[in-house]
Amino acid sequence: MFSSSSISLFSANVSTTYTQLTNGDTQNRALIAMYTRLANYVQNIQMLFTQYSQGNFFAVANILTLNVYNQYSIGIKGLEANASVYPDYEKLRLGTVAALQGLYQSIQQYANLVDTEAKLENAAQYEIILGDPDKLYEYIKTLNLKTAIFPLSEVTIQPAILKAEYAKYIELYGFPPGGVFEMDKLAAILNN
């Protein structure tokens, strides 16, 4: 009923279809693996955002240090894919980069706020002294008791050293606005 040529034609079609399915399956598995690796970073960043939204700024600042930020930069840059082949994936990856950069900027702003609050508290103490003549007199009296213009102290200073990766970044792209280095650019420099 079937000739041997019909069977071989059928076998060839099945073989071709199987190869196409296998290639598609391999591509899907690769895509799933890409999304899974990105999801791990997103999950960690989400945890940081949750802590931040609950007002745990100090905890987030202790977790998201410059070293951690650099490690994330390298890791997320390593997940980069061809945007023309995987446009949605790249949108998500770049959104993750922007979210982390924003969170890091907010940590820097938090540090500035804490510093400013400490300075404001010192200024408030001086305001109390300046507003009360008796306290002002006592303050001036304590200043006059000091014989040295500057208090005796031993000062040791660490020289300011700019790490090579930041020097290269500034050389190539200039100082980043807000002091937050773009993750992809920094990661490319760190990888080299």
Give the pLDDT confidence of 137-187 residue by residue, as tens digits: 888 888 777 666 666 677 778 888 888 888 899 999 998 888 888 888 888
Residue 11 CA to residue 49 CA, distance in Å, equals 56
Q: How many domains does the chain have?
A: 1
Q: Which residues contact 45 (CB under 8 A, 6 or more apart)?
A: 96, 99, 100, 103
Helices (H), the chain: 4-53, 57-63, 66-78, 87-131, 133-145, 164-173, 183-191
Task: Give the residue, 5 or 123, on which the prediction is more confident.
Answer: 123
Residue 1 pLDDT: 41
Q: Which of 63-67, 122-126, 153-157, 161-165 has the highest mean pLDDT?
A: 63-67
Give tens-digit pLDDT for 20-50: 445 667 888 888 999 999 999 999 999 999 9
Distance, in Å, from the CA atom of 160 to the CA atom of 141, rounded to the nearest integer, reads: 38
- Domain residues for the domain of 145 are 4-191
